[in-house]
Amino acid sequence: MTTPLSLAESLSKPLSPIFPADEGDRPGTKPDKSRGAALLDRVTSSYALDVTESEVLVELARLVDLLDALHSGLSGQLTSTGSTGQVTAHPLLAELRAGRRQLLELVAALRLPSGEEPDAYDALVAELSRPTGGGS
């Protein structure tokens, strides 16, 4: 039985996507780190977070990586074949939709101050909501 990681261990453990990074994200290069890890680095270097905010940020970073993996899993396929041969929406579309709703909830729960930039929250939401480009 494994023991749960402490917050410090959680924050120091590198985050990575569930699936390997899609090399299509940047032509000719493999990303140095996942978008979740980059988000974690950017926020922790800019803000002093309390324990609760840190936990929310870790979950937000993991969700960003999961959404990227789900997007890659679509591979441009928006439909799939159902059990009786009918064309249906790809099952990952519903997961992406639900994940994006959860992403918005986590960003709101993080309550980062906007500072001098009036649209910091909107910019963060827009950046995290965009597809990665891998798989399309």
Q: What is the pLDDT of residues 111-136, one digit of tens each?
A: 877 655 545 556 666 677 676 655 44
pLDDT score for 62: 95
CA dihedral for 24, 128, 35, 75, sign (positive or negative): negative
Quote the CA–CA distance of 28 and 127 in Å, as a whole number: 22
Q: What is the pLDDT of residues 8-56, one digit of tens each?
A: 444 444 444 333 344 444 444 456 789 999 999 999 988 888 999 999 9
Half-sphere exposure of 23 (CA within 13 A, CB side): 3
Please state whether the predicted TM-score (pTM) of the whole model is above 0.85: no
Instruction: Give domain limits for the chain.
Output: 31-129
